[in-house]
């Protein structure tokens, strides 16, 4: 199969040769006006040296590289990449009697930029972040069936929230069909997963290991979980012997998800839900909590909003630091990609200084192994967190 050739401007080929998967529009020396979003293209240097194959899109990130060689992008290609990704998850022990929730494909981290696949007890939920992946979703679904086999119950495609021209995107089942909510397990805790009506693909898998760490600290403790969504941190705390857990979210829909999951695991007597704005609620806590979890949505998705995000993180953490009981722990996170680990850490330290309390960092946290970071794509590191103790 032959693909349209795009020439890279002189001097702009070096990042591709270092296997960075993003090619920005300013690096292209060819006319792209005839190309359609999602077209497969072959990149070359001015001297006609082939740099690889990728998906084109009329956007700042103009090409997402699928291969740094010349090869056919067909079902067999996706089978090879997805088999590699799936086997990694099996090797690191993410599919067993007490856990059947994991991210099966993490975009650039699995050499399939623009493609997210989450796995919930036999159901694969595909989310495309590029038109190239969207246009090849049927091939991807067929490749998933070949790779997973009889252990795959259904495939659901959900990209209307992640791509422009969303009115043109149709979500739905590509293989099989399973009623939602669908029961799945994370580290022994039961969850009702609803990929049709829930946020993202239905669950925030990237906090799995950090929820497990909270469980180790939670025995005999009183816990406040802010921005709780479906209650992941709350349930791990209850599973590991917390004496009281309060889950807080401004969304009544999120609180309903949390309450349903708490009831599913029979933890009702030790749990209460609060519908409120976390920033306001944190200013004057009525309870002496031993542990507070701060896991807000991204405060900044673009670099021009970074300063505003930093101020938000500082205020939120300062409120928690002022209110936590002496010796208490705060699990604090940022999923804003434009806020790196050092900047986030310095922001939390600045919040402790503002609050006038001594602070020790016990753990530095990040995304788990099923959200791998491609070594040549450091931008893939987005989740960062700290466990701090306040004296």
Length of the chain: 391
Q: pLDDT (tens digit, 9 = 90+) per residue, 134-180?
A: 999 999 999 999 999 999 999 999 999 999 877 789 999 999 999 99
The percent of residues in the chain predicted with pLDDT above 90, rounded, is 93
Q: Report the pLDDT averaged over residues 250-269.
A: 96
Say if residue 360 is in the same domain as residue 242: yes
Quick check: 301 pLDDT over 80? no
**Does residue 197 fall inside a structural domain?**
no
Q: Report the pLDDT averaged over residues 302-329.
A: 92
Say if residue 22 is in the same domain as residue 151: no
Say if residue 48 is in the same domain as residue 110: no
- Bridge partners (DSSP) listed for residue 172: 157
* Domain boundary, last residue among 67, 90, 116: 67
Say if residue 271 is in the same domain as residue 382: yes
* Domain boundary, last residue among 149, 183, 217: 183
Token pair for 387: 């466990």
Say if residue 84 is in the same domain as residue 63: no
pLDDT of amino acid 150: 96
**Does residue 295 fall inside a structural domain?**
yes
**CB-hemisphere CA count at 13 Å for 43?**
32
**Does residue 19 fall inside a structural domain?**
yes
Q: pLDDT (tens digit, 9 = 90+) per residue, 172-217?
A: 999 999 999 999 999 999 999 999 999 999 999 999 999 999 999 9
**Does residue 122 fall inside a structural domain?**
yes
**Does residue 192 fall inside a structural domain?**
no
Say if residue 146 is in the same domain as residue 56: no
Cβ(105)–Cβ(112) below 8 Å: yes
pTM: 0.95
Report d(CA 94, CA 22) in Å as an integer. Answer: 29
**Does residue 188 fall inside a structural domain?**
no
- Cα separation of the two ends of the chain: 65
Say if residue 219 is in the same domain as residue 330: yes
Cβ(274)–Cβ(248) below 8 Å: yes
**Does residue 193 fall inside a structural domain?**
no
Cβ(250)–Cβ(318) below 8 Å: no
Say if residue 296 is in the same domain as residue 312: yes
**Does residue 194 fall inside a structural domain?**
no
The DSSP string of 173-198 is: EEE----SSEEEEETTEEEEE-TTTS
Q: What domain range includes position 360?
A: 205-390
Say if residue 148 is in the same domain as residue 286: no
Report d(CA 231, CA 251) in Å as an integer. Answer: 12
* Domain boundary, last residue among 20, 51, 67: 67
CATH number at residue 125: 3.30.750.80
Say if residue 89 is in the same domain as residue 61: no
Report d(CA 348, CA 314) in Å as an integer. Answer: 6
Q: pLDDT (tens digit, 9 = 90+) per residue, 66-114?
A: 999 999 999 999 999 999 999 999 999 999 999 999 999 999 999 999 9
CATH number at residue 228: 3.40.50.150
**Edge-to-edge strands, sheet with 244-249:** 271-275, 244-249, 222-226, 291-294, 328-334, 384-390, 359-366
Say if residue 222 is in the same domain as residue 287: yes
CATH number at residue 34: 2.30.130.10
Domains held by the chain: number: 3
Say if residue 271 is in the same domain as residue 381: yes
Q: Report the pLDDT averaged over residues 14-31.
A: 97
């Amino acid at each position: 199969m032959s693909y349209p050739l795009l020439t890279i401007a002189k001097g702009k080929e070096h990042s591709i040769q270092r296997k960075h998967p993003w090619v920005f529009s300013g690096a292209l020396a060819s006319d792209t006006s005839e190309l359609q979003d999602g077209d497969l293209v072959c990149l070359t240097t001015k001297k006609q040296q082939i740099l690889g194959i990728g998906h084109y899109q009329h956007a700042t990130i103009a090409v997402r590289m699928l291969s740094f060689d010349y090869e056919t992008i067909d079902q067999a290609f996706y089978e090879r990449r997805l088999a590699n990704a799936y086997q990694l998850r099996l090797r690191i022990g993410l599919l067993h009697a007490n856990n059947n929730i994991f991210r099966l494909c993490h975009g650039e981290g699995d050499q399939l930029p623009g493609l997210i696949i989450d796995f919930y007890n036999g159901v694969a939920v595909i989310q495309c972040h590029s038109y190239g992946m969207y246009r090849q979703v049927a091939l991807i679904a067929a490749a998933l069936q070949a790779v997973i086999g009889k252990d795959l119950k259904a495939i659901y495609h959900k990209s209307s929230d992640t791509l422009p021209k969303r009115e043109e995107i149709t979500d739905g089942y590509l293989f099989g069909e399973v009623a939602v909510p669908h029961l799945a397990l994370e580290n022994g805790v039961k969850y009702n997963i609803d990929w049709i009506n829930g946020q993202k693909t239905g669950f925030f898998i990237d906090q799995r290991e950090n929820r497990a760490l909270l469980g180790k600290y939670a025995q005999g403790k009183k816990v406040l979980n802010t921005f709780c969504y479906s209650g992941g941190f709350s349930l791990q705390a209850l599973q590991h012997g917390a004496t009281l857990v309060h889950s807080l979210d401004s969304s009544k829909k999120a609180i309903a998800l949390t309450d349903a999951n708490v009831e599913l695991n029979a933890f009702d007597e030790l749990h209460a839900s609060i519908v409120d704005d976390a920033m306001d609620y944190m200013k004057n806590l009525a309870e002496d909590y031993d542990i507070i979890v701060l896991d807000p949505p991204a405060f900044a998705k673009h670099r021009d909003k970074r300063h505003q995000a930093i101020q938000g993180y500082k205020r939120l953490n300062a409120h928690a630091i002022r209110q936590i009981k002496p010796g208490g722990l705060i699990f604090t996170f940022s999923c804003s990609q434009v806020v790196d680990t050092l900047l986030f850490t310095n922001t939390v330290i600045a919040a402790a200084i503002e609050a006038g309390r001594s602070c020790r960092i016990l753990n530095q946290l990040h995304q788990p192994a099923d959200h791998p970071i491609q070594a040549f794509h450091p931008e893939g590191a987005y989740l960062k967190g700290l466990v701090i103790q306040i004296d």
